[in-house]
Chain A
């Protein structure tokens, strides 16, 4: 919920540097967007110099590139192929290791507080979704629980959506509404470059107070909030979620799945970049020293062996695997966890090598559903 203007604070770029310093001093490992290999990916942040300053990302179906901006915005981009998922739910984690007498040789996951700078509203929503998966009603996931405990989130509200973004359709952005300790809107232009920040938690309030900010005046707040509202109206894509669960359940035998399968490579990119996909498998790795390790690693419902039963996979066709992914993401997730599994970040569209667009496919299913009604 938007705080009254009296609690909104203005900090400058040096304030952001101070923020990172304060977090480091408190023993946090600080992560944020960094430039690496032609993409913006999460990495360690020591100062604002580590951020992709003055860089904008251009997204399209199966297309991503970075271009220089006309200004020095610290957060002038949206999302990259990584998300907080890669940190809280790492691609590989040791579940157990031991010797043949079952003497345990692994250690409990290292605990240490993590801080993320520059998380988008959609990413916060994705973290909340994964919290429900890993810390929900069943047994909690040890690794996730350890990584997530005491984490500190500094959100950045989006003022320029990417072309593949559709967070407004999923109710997850562009303004961060919850799940953050501090949220900021970067205001740049016309000789101004500052951040309008607010706290979302007690610790956020404590940290914010240490940043030598000044109270924002209503005009400054108005400019910041308006830019975020404008962004909300600029989404290039939309997805109609009203009744989508029932619609997709009914579409289970729709021939359109086969049509998508003609294009889909089952490469699993979408599941890797999706900030909510959580499927994993367990590898058994044995060493010559007699120790065996059980390692969990990311898996994908697109993988051929994913559904192996009785010597063969249950979902053989690409059609059935795409159907599983999209139906899970947009429909079954409601029954399993009470919300949609999609946050509208657009990564699956950007990183699909053949540019399959989940919003376009949903629209086709809606059209066919309406035609049958």
Chain B
């Protein structure tokens, strides 16, 4: 009987059935599914799976849970099309097909010894959460740990409970800003790049992991560069159309890169020039 890991080698296009354990609504269009893998599922923060609601199609979804929890596979999904709408209809007890994990992960090892700065925009916090969880549970590997989050409104902050919990750590700097807010919000209002300029990390010895809409990542990287962080130490997570996730269907190409295989995490210095060319 082939395990999921075996299948990835012998038949990487075959979905493995995992059961939905729990479902949680995060914001009006974003939800989190916790799945039970058929055997321990290991992944690295930044990787993604192809989720297959039977008969509908596949969608590439970042893994958003704790990388140390091998019996609980968590994905946070935003409902944008057919497949994600089908994922939205899943309830505990339902089964969903999973292929993975795929992709190049966040460079958490490389960042050791220095400051680590996470900058998340909107649902970009989902692919970063496993990395933040890892950094917190390996806190001694890093000097300053900074988490900067941008959201549309206070009601759109994903994992808001966990963000509150992170704020409670004395050895974590957590900044949250929103694009628009009510009078009752006393926190920062504005784009997340402004949190970067106001943060206390040491640019000469910091690794930045950035995830969010492409425009946000570009401006954030520019702000980080302005602060003095080298392009080789800024990492972004890109998204392109994916059909196979194993570098064979050609859809996810971005310049010479296959986003499924050479990414989705990229060194900003490697993709900076491509990101500003339209339709590349």
Contacts and interface: CB of A to CB of B under 8 A. Distances in A.
Given A138-B246, A280-B248, A281-B243, A102 B15 contact: yes
B57 A284 contact: yes
Interface stretch (B133-141, B193-201, B250-258): B250-258
B2 to A, nearest CB: 11
A371 interface: no
Given A141-B248, A299-B251, A307-B240, A320 B80 contact: no
Contacts of B250: 278-280, 299, 301
A28 interface: no
Contacts of B256: 331-332, 335-336
Contacts of A101: 17, 95
Given A95-B13, A96-B14, A102-B17, A280 B244 contact: yes
Point out which of A138, A296, A323 has the most chain B C-beta atoms below 10 A from its C-beta. A138
B255 A332 contact: yes
A138 B253 CA distance: 15
Contacts of A331: 256
B249 A102 contact: no
A309 B239 contact: yes
Contacts of A95: 13-14
B251 A281 contact: yes
B54 A102 contact: yes
B232 interface: no
The interface residues of chain B, by DSSP majority, are classed as loop
B280 interface: yes
Interface string A290-315: 00101010010100001111110011
Contact of A307 (B11, B251, B258): B251
A319 B56 CA distance: 32
| Chain A interface SS verdict (over half) | mixed
Interface in A322-365: 323-324, 328, 331-332, 335-336
Given A95-B13, A307-B240, A309-B240, A315 B279 contact: yes
A127 to B, nearest CB: 16
B272 to A, nearest CB: 14
A282 B243 contact: yes
Interface string A74-103: 000000000000000000000110101110
B190 to A, nearest CB: 24
Nearest to B249: A280
Most buried by A among B15, B240, B251, B261: B251
Nearest to A320: B279
Interface string B10-30: 111111110000000000000
A102 B9 CA distance: 19
B276 to A, nearest CB: 10
A139 B81 contact: no
A284 B55 contact: yes
Interface string B112-140: 00000000000000000000000000000
A104 interface: yes
Contacts of A253: 277
A252 B251 contact: no
A311 B55 CA distance: 20
Interface in B226-273: 239-241, 243-244, 246-251, 253, 255-256, 258, 261
A249 B80 CA distance: 33
A299 B242 CA distance: 13
B97 interface: yes
Nearest to A134: B248
Contact of A96 (B13, B255, B261): B13
Interface in B1-55: 8-17, 54-55
Contacts of A279: 249-251
A311 B80 contact: yes
B89 interface: no
A10 to B, nearest CB: 43
A102 B241 contact: no
B261 A100 contact: no
Nearest to A108: B11
A316 B261 contact: no
Contacts of B186: none
Contacts of A252: 277, 280
Contacts of B11: 142
B169 interface: no
Interface in A34-76: none
Given A280-B244, A299-B249, A96 B54 contact: no
B182 interface: no
A4 to B, nearest CB: 41
B88 interface: no
Closest 9 CB pairs of A and B: A279-B250, A320-B279, A102-B17, A332-B256, A292-B55, A335-B256, A139-B12, A95-B13, A286-B55
Given A278-B248, A282-B244, A316-B279, 12 more contacts: A100-B54, A104-B14, A134-B248, A252-B280, A253-B277, A280-B250, A292-B54, A294-B13, A301-B250, A301-B253, A306-B251, A315-B279
18 contacts: A100-B95, A101-B17, A101-B95, A102-B16, A142-B11, A252-B277, A279-B251, A280-B244, A280-B250, A286-B55, A296-B249, A301-B250, A301-B253, A307-B240, A307-B251, A319-B279, A320-B278, A324-B253
